[in-house]
Structure 1
Amino acid sequence: MRKVLIVGAGQSGLQLALGLQSQGYAVTLMSNRTADEIRSGRVMSTQCMFDTALQHERDLAVNFWESQAPRIEGLGVSVAAPGSHAEPGGSQRAIDWVGTLEGYAQSVDQRVKMAGWMETFAQRGGQLVIHGAAVSDLDFFAGRYDLTLVSAGKGELVSMFGRDAARSPYDAPQRALAVAYVHGLGPRPEHPHFDAVRCNVVPGVGELFVMPTLTTSGRADILFWEGIPGGPLDVFQSVKDPDEHLATTLELMEKFLPWEYARATKVELTDANGTLAGRYAPTVRNPIGRLPSGGLVLGVADVVVANDPITGQGSNSASKCAASYLAAIVERGEEPFDEDWMRATFDRYWDTARHVTKWTNAMLAPPPEHVLDILGAGGRFQPVADRFANGFDDPSDFENFFYDPDAARAYLASHG
Structure 2
Amino acid sequence: MRKILVVGAGQSGLQLALGLQSHGYEVTLMSNRTADEIRSGRVMSTQCMFHTALQHERDLQLNFWESQAPKIEGLGVSVAAPGSWGEGPAARAIDWVGRLDGYAQSVDQRVKMAGWMETFAQRGGRLVIHGAAVGDLDYFARAYDLVLVSAGKGELVQMFGRDASRSPYTEPQRALAVAYVHGLAPRPEHPDFHAVRCNLVPGVGELFVMPTLTTSGPADILFWEGIPGGPLDVFNGVKDPSEHLSLTLGLMERYTPWEYARATKAELTDAGGTLAGRYAPTVRNPVGRLPGGGLVLGVADVVVANDPITGQGSNSASKCAAAYLASILEHGEKEFDEPWMRQTFDRYWETAQHVTKWTNAMLAPPPEHILNLIGAAGQLQPAADRFANAFNDPADFENFFYEPEKTNAYLASISGA
* Fold agreement, TM-score > 0.5: yes
- Find the counterpart in structure 1 of residue 122 from structure 2: 123
Identity %: 83
Deviation at 1:87, TM superposition (A): 2.1
Deviations 1:217-243 (A, max 9, x none): 000000000000000000000211000
Secondary structure of the residue aligned to 2:143 is: coil
Query: 2:90 aligns to what?
Result: 91
- TM-score w.r.t. the length of structure 2 is 0.99
- 1:136-183 deviation digits (Å, cap 9, x = unpaired): 000000110000000000000000000000000000000000000000
Q: Where do residues 22-61 of structure 1 align in structure 2 (5 Å cutoff)?
A: 22-61=22-61
SS at match of 1:45: coil
Partner Cα distance (1:13, 1:297) in 2: 14
Structure 1: where are the runs of 5+ without partners? none
Structure 1 residue 118: Cα displacement: 0.1
Tell me the secondary structure at the aligned position of residue 276 of structure 1.
strand
Q: Which residue of 1 aligns with 2:66?
A: 66
Q: Distance in 1 between matches of 2:142 and 2:124?
A: 22
Residue 323 of structure 1 deviates from its aligned partner by: 0.2
> What letter matches 1:76 in structure 2?
G
Q: Deviation at 1:343?
A: 0.2
* 2:381 alignment counterpart: 382
Please state if 1:174 is matched with 2:173: yes
Mapped to 1, the partners of 2:97 and 2:377 lie a distance apart of 8
How far residue 9 of structure 1 moved from its aligned partner, in angstroms, is 0.1
Aligned 1:95-106 pairs, distance under 5 A: 95-106=94-105
The corresponding residue for 1:149 is 148
Q: Distance in 2 between matches of 1:82 and 1:194?
A: 28
Structure-2 separation of matches of 1:302 and 1:16: 14
**Distance of 1:406 and 1:278 partners within structure 2:** 38
Distance 1:415 1:71 in 2: 28
Question: What is the root-mean-square deviation in Å for CA atoms of aligned residues?
Answer: 0.4
State TM-score, norm by structure 1: 0.99
Shift of 1:414: 1.1
- Measure, in 2, the Cα distance between the counterparts of 1:235 and 1:195: 29
Query: What SS is found at the alignment partner of 1:414?
Result: helix
SS in 1 for 2:176: strand
Q: Structure 2: how far apart are the matches of 1:281 and 1:268?
A: 30
Q: Give the superposition deviation at 1:44.
A: 0.1
Deviations 1:244-299 (A, max 9, x none): 00000000000001000000000100000000000000000000000000000000
Q: Which moved more, 1:223-232 or 1:188-197?
A: 188-197
Q: CA separation in 1, counterparts of 2:162 and 2:322? A: 24
The equivalent of 1:270 in structure 2 is 269
1:166-315 equivalent positions in 2, closer than 5 A: 166-315=165-314
Counterpart position of 2:79: 79
Q: CA separation in 2, counterparts of 1:191 and 1:360?
A: 28
- Distance, in Å, in 2 between the alignment partners of 1:68 and 1:318 is 22
The range that moved more, 53-62 or 188-197, is: 188-197
Q: Which runs of 5+ in 2 are unaligned?
A: none
Would you identify which runs of 4 or more consecutive aligned residues in structure 1 move more than 2 Å? none
Residue 356 of structure 1 is matched in structure 2 by: 355
Following the alignment from structure 1 to structure 2, what is the Cα–Cα distance between the partners of residues 188 and 152? Answer: 37
Aligned mates of 1:92, 1:128 — CA distance in 2? 52
Aligned length: 415
2:256 is aligned with what amino acid?
L
Alignment match, 2:108 = 109
| Cα distance in 1, alignment partners of residues 311 and 26 from structure 2 | 33
Structure 2 residue identity aligned to 1:74: G
Q: Secondary structure at the match of 2:414?
A: coil
* Residue identity opposite 2:303 in structure 1: V
